[in-house]
Structure 1
Amino acid sequence: MRDLLLMAIIGVVAIMALGRPWIGVMLWNWISIMNPHRYTWGFAASAPVAMIAGLVTLIGLLFTKERGSPFKGAPVWWLLLFVIWMTISWLAGVDVGNDYNDWNRSIKIYLMIFVALSLLSNKYHILAFVWVTAGSLALLGAKGGLFTVLTGGSYRVWGPPDSFIDGNNEMALALITIIPLLHFLQLQLTRGWQRHAMSGVMVLCAAAALGSHSRGALLALIAMGAMFWWRSKSKGSMTILIMVTMLALLPMMPEEWWSRMETIETYEEDASANQRINAWTVAWHVAGERLTGGGMSYQYQDYFSRYGVYDTQPRAAHSIYFQILGNHGFIGLGIFLSLWLSTYLTAGWVRKHGREIAEAHWASDLGGMIQVGLVGFLVGGAFLSLAYFDLPYNMMVMAVLAKLWITKKGWERDPHISFIEFTGISSPTKAVKSKGK
């Protein structure tokens, strides 16, 4: 039954996407971020749902007149440069054949990022993109947070099977990253009960992150909370909220959780930490030896045998920075860092200039929360291999589109129709005519 319901939803939305390909972007985003098919037990679990979403979106892109150039800001050019260098690195890598699947998976994500930038243009598109991105993970976070509360944090929270975030650490970082986006959406809600409900979801996402037992997630949560407090207009209220949340969640965590967190201070005695440092050391040497790095991977026995310090067992980098460094060399890392610096600055521009325009206050809120979310991701990402995960790239899309919307005075060009009408559930043409009457 669950399989049939999911495929029916995907089928209906896919048909809508042929005529309005921006809806296909939302469908792809939902499937890629949330992986809803991984929570079924029948034929849908292995169905090529992402391919279906991507295909109908590309078909719609070919025939729609409402498309533009994806190159709408500096971060996009940095992303293009990164994609080119990643491809060169893969082709010059140690094992091109075995690395193909990793390259193919990443290139599909980047392709759809460019497609999103081509098709999304107005406030409705941007808000829908934020809702789908944050909402997809918030549903899982609320469920995981409730599980953490009911079990006293005795069990770890895991992500969707066979996805970028199937591990407990990866799932935790994804949830921490979307909390600022949920706060942005909360600011757009008009009814009190809706805002309170969103507060509850945010707290549950934080609980789920803690329930993952991830040390990197705890550091990311602290960094993001500090940024939240710094950016808050009412620091007193924010301080109370953070303190109440921590006092409510931390005391219920079991002894196992506290023991694991304490190893942050004694990392030199922790086997897991030493394994990461070992992998980072190998990545550094590989980048020094090869201009383009190892390819889509540098976890080869030869490198770990030569450069390993603590052991010679090939292991994942467990860091977006050393992952890129080992895979694509110092040039690749430089491009990667420039991409996120450019995204952060673009979001800052949106935050600053949006405040000066009444119609763009929502964009200012979005820019500020993108910056907070990026800080959480970039801090937590120092301990996880999530360099190719969709979520931060989606935030780049939001920042770029919001800046373009402000510079082109999007409030003067946006369609004056409701969001439901805009999706095609009712006729936009009739709605516009009726307003004219």
Structure 2
Amino acid sequence: MRDVAIVGFILLMIPVVIRRPWIGVMLWVWISLMNPHHFGWGRAAEMRVALIVAAATLIGLVVTRDRVRLPVNATTFLLVLLPLWMTVTLVFAFHFDDALRRWEEVMKIFLFILVTASVLQSRRHVEMLLWVIVLSVGFFGVKGGLFTVATGGAYRVWGPPGESYISDNNSISVALVMIIPLAYYLAQHTQRRIVRYAMYALIALSGIAVLGSHSRGAFLAVSVMSLYLWTKSRHKLLLGVLVLALLPVAMLAMPDNWKERMGTIRTYEQDSSAMGRINSWQTAFNIANDRPLVGGGFELYSRETFARYAPDREAVHSAHSIYFQLLGEHGYVGLLLFLALGITGWMNARRIVRTARDQPELEWASDLARAIQVSLVGYAVGGAFVNIGYWDLPYYEIVILMTVWSLIGHPNAPAAARAVAAEATPSVRNPRPEPAFGPASNRASPAEGACARTGSGARDSVAIDRWRARDNNGRPDGQDRTARRTDV
């Protein structure tokens, strides 16, 4: 029955996806992050539902009347250049057949990252994507938190079933760390009290699930992320008191084996797991020094490779780090492109915060940028100990920052025009025919009306002309761009 419900829902959504490809992106993200079809007991787990959704979405990009445009900027340039470089390193991979299978998987991810960048055109789209991300990953936080409470933390929390980048306890814990600030943003920007309380419950249970994962990397990530959040918070005293009061209680409630495992952070030399990771890091470093441009390619982890490059030839492990994963598999060039993409996203967040300062109508953008910054801090720290260099979520966050900046960051545009852009609903490629009561030039655009209400006068003429040109080039005149807050 569960199989029928999941697959039936996806198939019923296909016509909608073709008409509205941005909905296809939401379905793709849901399937990619949560693996819902693997919760079935029958053949649903074997069905390639992601491929069905992907095909419908790509068809929709061609036939839809919605506005579809891939921005040309530093972010999209790097989002294209990084997978292109991975394609170059594929040619020189140590184990080509294994590398080819991984390359196909990673290319699908980057393709839909670019599709996402093409269809996100409004705040409504951005917040819908946030809801899908938070609920898809947060499901395991709620489930894992309840499991940890019920078992007293004696057993580890695991991620989605099936093949997923966040299936193991270490990866799902970093994923939960990343969605906590996103859930907090959604809680702060919903008008429904019950939804706000539900998000607070998700945050609390996800935090408990992070502890229940027994992941040392996630423990470090949540510690550093909390410190960063405290430095950026407007309520430092309150937040500090809450952390100092609740964290010791949570740690004392965990079993002795959890405390012993966390204690190995200081005595890592005596822990075989930690030393195995260091051995893998040294191996990746040696490969990059031997092949600085192309590295060893995807799936380089084999006895033959470790026999040649590892200090300990018998300890064959994956990289266990996003940084050494990119360094070992794609050389210094791949690592630099990866880091450049993260820095570009961070700079977009800073621009958003700076632009939105002292402008209440753009407070949502500032709050979102700060939330994603906190999330990326968690990824940067927690990712140093897990293999999630190709996982979707951080790339979606970078695309969201790029989209928000494009919505509010128009140069020389007045605040009112930026607010209209930020709240815009999806536009349409083919404008409707002109109505009989008058030409478009005689009607005020939404931006013009917003500027008129602010009394900004002639200073807004540049922005008004830009918005009129945008209307004539791809938006139906008079289309409502009022804010549509989305809770679910």
Give the TM-score normalised by structure 1: 0.92
Alpha-carbon deviation of 1:417? 7.4
Could you tell me which of 278, 286, 297 is aligned with 1:295? 297
**2:142 match:** 142
SS of residue paired to 2:13: helix
In structure 1, C-alpha distance between the alignment counterparts of 2:191 and 2:325, rounded to whole Å:
43
AA aligned to 1:411 is A
Could you tell me which of 408, 411, 421 is aligned with 2:419? 411
Could you tell me which of 347, 351, 375 is aligned with 1:349? 351
Alpha-carbon deviation of 1:68? 3.8
AA aligned to 1:377 is Y
Alpha-carbon deviation of 1:252? 1.4
**2:395 match:** 393
Structure showing greater radius of gyration is 2
**1:426 match:** none
In structure 2, C-alpha distance between the alignment counterparts of 1:414 and 1:381, rounded to whole Å:
32
**1:423 match:** none
For structure 2, the 5+ residue unaligned runs are 411-416, 427-475, 483-488
AA aligned to 2:206 is C
1:37-84 CA-partner distances (Å, limit 9, x unpaired): 111111111111111111111000011243444234322212211111
AA aligned to 1:132 is V
Structure 1 residues 224, 168: closer, same or farther in 2, change over 3 A? same
AA aligned to 1:107 is M
In structure 2, C-alpha distance between the alignment counterparts of 1:355 and 1:57, rounded to whole Å:
37
- Greater Cα offset, 192-201 or 12-21: 192-201
In structure 2, C-alpha distance between the alignment counterparts of 1:285 and 1:15, rounded to whole Å:
51
Alpha-carbon deviation of 1:142? 0.8
Aligned 8 A contact 2:284 2:324 in 1: yes
In structure 2, C-alpha distance between the alignment counterparts of 1:265 and 1:206, rounded to whole Å:
23
In structure 1, C-alpha distance between the alignment counterparts of 2:151 and 2:270, rounded to whole Å:
30
Aligned 8 A contact 1:351 1:366 in 2: no
AA aligned to 1:282 is T
Alpha-carbon deviation of 1:361? 0.9
**2:229 match:** 228
**2:456 match:** none
- Greater Cα offset, 230-239 or 264-273: 230-239
In structure 1, C-alpha distance between the alignment counterparts of 2:479 and 2:420, rounded to whole Å:
15
1:266-306 CA-partner distances (Å, limit 9, x unpaired): 11111111111111111111111112011112213233112
In structure 2, C-alpha distance between the alignment counterparts of 1:15 and 1:174, rounded to whole Å:
32
Alpha-carbon deviation of 1:413? 4.4
Structure 1 residues 170, 415: closer, same or farther in 2, change over 3 A? closer
**2:465 match:** none
Aligned 8 A contact 2:122 2:425 in 1: no
**1:38 match:** 38
Alpha-carbon deviation of 1:400? 0.5
- Greater Cα offset, 8-17 or 268-277: 8-17
- Greater Cα offset, 140-149 or 373-382: 140-149
- Greater Cα offset, 34-43 or 214-223: 34-43
Aligned 8 A contact 2:123 2:423 in 1: no
SS of residue paired to 1:385: coil
**Identical aligned residues as a percent:** 40
In structure 2, C-alpha distance between the alignment counterparts of 1:84 and 1:126, rounded to whole Å:
27
- Greater Cα offset, 330-339 or 301-310: 301-310
Aligned 8 A contact 2:159 2:168 in 1: yes
Matches within 5 A, 1:271-350: 271-290=272-291, 291-350=293-352
Aligned 8 A contact 1:283 1:322 in 2: yes
**1:187 match:** 188
**2:218 match:** 217
In structure 2, C-alpha distance between the alignment counterparts of 1:306 and 1:416, rounded to whole Å:
56
AA aligned to 2:13 is V
Alpha-carbon deviation of 1:191? 4.0
In structure 2, C-alpha distance between the alignment counterparts of 1:43 and 1:25, rounded to whole Å:
24
Aligned 8 A contact 2:407 2:421 in 1: no
Aligned 8 A contact 1:14 1:27 in 2: no
For structure 1, the 5+ residue unaligned runs are 419-428
1:302-331 CA-partner distances (Å, limit 9, x unpaired): 331123223434210000000111100111
In structure 1, C-alpha distance between the alignment counterparts of 2:402 and 2:189, rounded to whole Å:
20
Aligned 8 A contact 2:404 2:422 in 1: no
In structure 2, C-alpha distance between the alignment counterparts of 1:198 and 1:244, rounded to whole Å:
21
User: Do structure 1's residue 268 and structure 2's residue 269 form an aligned pair?
Assistant: yes
In structure 2, C-alpha distance between the alignment counterparts of 1:305 and 1:312, rounded to whole Å:
8
In structure 2, C-alpha distance between the alignment counterparts of 1:366 and 1:286, rounded to whole Å:
39
Aligned 8 A contact 1:26 1:129 in 2: yes
In structure 1, C-alpha distance between the alignment counterparts of 2:249 and 2:57, rounded to whole Å:
44
Structure 1 residues 412, 320: closer, same or farther in 2, change over 3 A? same
In structure 1, C-alpha distance between the alignment counterparts of 2:14 and 2:353, rounded to whole Å:
34
Alpha-carbon deviation of 1:416? 7.2
Aligned 8 A contact 2:352 2:409 in 1: no
For this pair of structures, how many residues does the alignment match? 423
Aligned 8 A contact 1:142 1:208 in 2: yes
Aligned 8 A contact 1:169 1:384 in 2: yes
Give the TM-score normalised by structure 2: 0.83
Aligned 8 A contact 2:318 2:387 in 1: yes
Matches within 5 A, 1:112-261: 112-161=112-161, 162-261=163-262
Give the alignment's Cα RMSD to 1 decimal: 2.0
Alpha-carbon deviation of 1:204? 0.5
In structure 2, C-alpha distance between the alignment counterparts of 1:432 and 1:64, rounded to whole Å:
17
In structure 1, C-alpha distance between the alignment counterparts of 2:231 and 2:105, rounded to whole Å:
37
User: Do structure 1's residue 27 and structure 2's residue 12 form an aligned pair?
Assistant: no
Aligned 8 A contact 1:122 1:410 in 2: no
**1:366 match:** 368
In structure 2, C-alpha distance between the alignment counterparts of 1:344 and 1:377, rounded to whole Å:
13
Alpha-carbon deviation of 1:258? 0.4
